[in-house]
Structure 1
Amino acid sequence: MRKFLANAKFLASAGAATAFFAGTSAHADQPVPWETTFQAPATEMMRQIESFGNYTMWFVVPITLLVLFLLAYCIFRFRASANPVPAKTSHNTAIEVIWTVGPVVILLFIAIPSFKLLTAQYTPGEEPKLTVKATGNQWNWDYEYQTDNTLTFNSAILQDGDRAKAGKEDRKVYPRLLAVDNELVVPVNTMTRVLVTATDVIHSFAMPSFGIKMDAVPGRTNETWFKAEKEGLYYGQCSQLCGKDHAFMPIAIRVVSDTQFKTWLAAAKTDLPGANKTLMAEVDGQNKVAAAGN
C-alpha cells in the first residue's frame, strides 16, 4: 500500500511538471532558476551562436585540462624538496616552436567561424518586412512601428498593483521584474528590423532567445534584426548599465501569427489597451487548448 501511494505521488508530481512545462513552452522562453545554458533559440541566428559556443568548448576544455595538468606536474615534480639544486635550463627550441605555432593554429580554428558568424549577424538573409524603432529611456522603451499609419507606444515594467487590471496575474507567464505593460508585438517568420537609439544615456536592446544585443546610443541609430520562428512571449532586458533603475527595464516581445498581428495592429492604432487584451485572450486560449491536448 505504501509503495502504491509513493508511486501515485510520483505520477502526480510528474503530471504537474508536465503540465507546467507544457504551459511555459507554449509561452516561449524566459530565464529560469539555476539556468546554466542559453535560453532555447527562437531564431536561426541564435542557433548559430549556440552552435559556435559548443564548438569553442572543444578547444576550451582540453586547453584548461592541459594547463591544469602542467601546473600540477610542475608543482609536484619541481618542488624544492625534490630539487634542492634548481635546473639551469634557459630555453628549449622545440618547446618555443610548439607554444608559438600551437596557439596560432588554435586561434585560426576559432577565428574563421567567428568571423563567419559576425558577418551573418550583420547580413540579413532577406529584406525586412517590418521595421520598428526602439528608443531607450530611463527606464523604459518607446516603440514606433514604421508602417503606413505609424503606431507609437511606451513599454515599461509592470507594477504588481497593475497586474489585475492588465490581466497578467499569472506569474509563470508574466514573471515579476520581466513583465511589461505593453509588449512589442511582431509576426512569426517575418524578417523584422529594429532601429535602436536612446534619449538620455546609453542603453542596450537585448533579447537572448533571438541572439540580438544592440547598444542604444543617444544621437545615433543602430540597426539589428531578427526572424522569430516560434510564436510566444519572449523576455529580455536592457544590458547596459544605465542608472539606478537599470535592473527594472525589461523587454518583452510577443510573437504571433501573421493574421493575429494584422488584427492587433489595426486595432492598436485606435485602442492599444483593448487590442492587447483581445490578443492576450486569444493567445492564452490557444495555449490552454494546446496544454490540455498534451
Structure 2
Amino acid sequence: MRKLSMLKGRATGTLAAALAAVQAAPALAQDSLELVGHPQAGGMGFQPASTELARDLQWLDGMLLVIITAICILVVALLAFAVLRYNSKANPSPKSFTHNSPLEIAWTLGPIVILVVIGAFSLPVLFKQQEIPEGDVVIKVTGYQWYWGYEYVGTDLAYEGYMIGAPATGGDNRFSTDVSTQLHEAGYNDSEFLLATDTSVVVPVGKTVVMQVTGADVIHSWTIPAFGVKQDAVPGRIAELWFKPEREGVFFGQCSELCGISHAYMPITVKVVSQEAYDAWLAASQDEGGYVDVRQFLAAS
C-alpha cells in the first residue's frame, strides 16, 4: 500500500508538472522575446537597463547612494564622538566658546563641493533626457481614463491599449478564469495580470524612438522603467521623450500619475522586435486598419 501510495504521488506530481508546462506554453508564444519587468520572487533593485538612458540613471543612483552613505556614516560618527567626548561625566567643566571659524568654513564648503560633484554628474544625464534627437520611429501617445491611445506618426496606424482583464476587455479589474484565458491566449502567464495589455507598442531594436506624450482628460504619466523614461501626459500640451532599445523583449510599465479610480489598471506594454519583424507588422497593421498581433511575424524574421 505504501509503494502504491508513493507511485500515485509520483504520478500526480508528474501530471501536475505536465499541466503547468501546458499552462506556461502560451508564454513561449512570445517566441524569442524576453519578458522584462514582470514580478519575480525575491526580486530587488532596478529592472534590467535596456537603454543608455536607463544605464546612466542607474549608475547615477548608485553614485548618489555611495555619497549619501558616506555622509550618514560621518554624521553618526561625529555624533557618537560628541556624545562620548563631551558628556557631563567625561567633560564636567564645559568650554565657554561659541564659535570655531575653521569648522564653520569646513561645514559650509563641504556641502558646496558635494553638491557641485552631484551636479556635474547629474546635469549631463538630465540634458541627455531632455535633448530629443530625430526619431526613426515617432509615436504620439495619449492618456485616457483609463487606457492609452497610440498613433504612429506618418502612417495610417492608430489603436488603443487596454489592460487584459479591464472592463474594456471583458473583465472587471479582478483576476478570473476568463482573464487567465485571455492572458494565455495573448502569450502571457497569470503573473503578468495587471501588467499585460491587449495591444502593445511595437518598435524596432536599435532605433531611436520618440514618444509625443499628451493627455485627453486628466494628467497621466507614460513610464517604462527598463528604458529609464517617464513623462507626464498633460491635457492641452505635447511633451516628448526618447529611447533607443538595445535588445529585443517585452517591457512593462504603468501610468505613474494618480489619474482617478482606475489608475492602477492602466499598464503599458512595449514589444521590441527586429527591424524585419517591425516592418512586416507595421505593413500588416496598416493594411488591416488597426493593431495586428506581432507574434506571427517574429518567427518569420
Quickly name the TM-score band, shorter chain normalised: 0.7 to 0.9
Alpha carbons of 1:282 and 1:120: their partners in 2 closer, same or farther (altered >3 Å)?
Answer: same
Contact 2:150 2:159 in 1 (8 A): yes
C-alpha distance in 1, partners of 2:119/2:292? 47
Letter in 2 for 1:176: F
1:202 corresponds to which letter in structure 2? I
Give 1:86 deviation, angstroms.
4.4
| Residue matched to 2:102 | 94
- Cα deviation for residue 154 of structure 1 reads 0.8
Q: What's the counterpart of residue 223 of structure 2?
A: 206
Q: Equivalent residues in 2 for 1:155-234 (5 A)? A: 155-159=161-165, 160=175, 161-165=178-182, 167-168=185-186, 170-171=188-189, 175-234=192-251
1:142 aligns with 2:157: no
Aligned residue in 2 for 1:44: 52
Instruction: For residue 70 of structure 1, report the CA deviation from its aligned partner.
Output: 1.7
1:67 corresponds to 2:67:
no
The within-5 A match list for 1:266-281 is 266-271=283-288, 275-276=292-293, 279-281=294-296
The counterpart of 2:119, out of the listed 108, 111, 115, is: 111
Q: In the alignment, is the contact (CA less than 8 A) between 1:206 and 1:212 conserved in 2? A: yes
Amino acid at match of 2:53: M
Change (3 A) 1:195 1:177: same
Counterpart of 1:11 in structure 2 is none
User: Which letter does structure 2 place at the counterpart of 1:236?
Assistant: G
Alpha-carbon shift at residue 77 of structure 1 (Å): 3.2
**How big is each residue's C-alpha offset from its partner over 1:6-56, in whole Å with a ceiling of 9 and x where there is no partner?**
xxxxxxxxxx9xxxxxx8995141143443321111111111111222222
RMSD of Structure 2 on Structure 1 (CA): 2.6
TM-score by length of 1: 0.80
Q: Does 1:130 align with 2:147?
A: no
Of the three residues 130, 151, 158, the one matched with 1:152 is: 158
Deviation of 1:247 after TM superposition, in Å, equals: 1.3
The answer to whether the Cα contact below 8 Å between 2:215 and 2:233 also exists between their aligned partners in 1 is yes
Partner Cα separation in structure 1 for residue 62 and residue 74 of structure 2 = 19
How many equivalent residue pairs? 260
Asked whether the equivalents of residues 163 and 169 of structure 1 are also in contact (C-alpha less than 8 Å), the reply is no
**Matches of 1:165 and 1:176, distance apart in 2:** 10
Counterpart code for 1:189: G
SS of residue in 1 equivalent to 2:49? coil
1:45-68 alpha-carbon deviations (Å, 9 max, x no partner): 111111222222331121111112
- The one-letter amino acid paired with 2:204 is P
Give how far 1:244 is off.
Answer: 1.5
User: How much identity, in percent, do the aligned residues show?
Assistant: 36
SS in 1 for 2:192: coil
Bigger shift: residues 24-33 or 227-236 = 24-33
Structure 1 distance, partners of 2:180, 2:288, is 19
8 Å Cα contact 2:141-2:212 kept in structure 1: yes
Letter in 2 for 1:264: W
Asked if the contact 1:28/1:231 (under 8 Å) is kept, the reply is no
- Separation (CA, whole Å) in 2 of partners of 1:258 and 1:240: 32
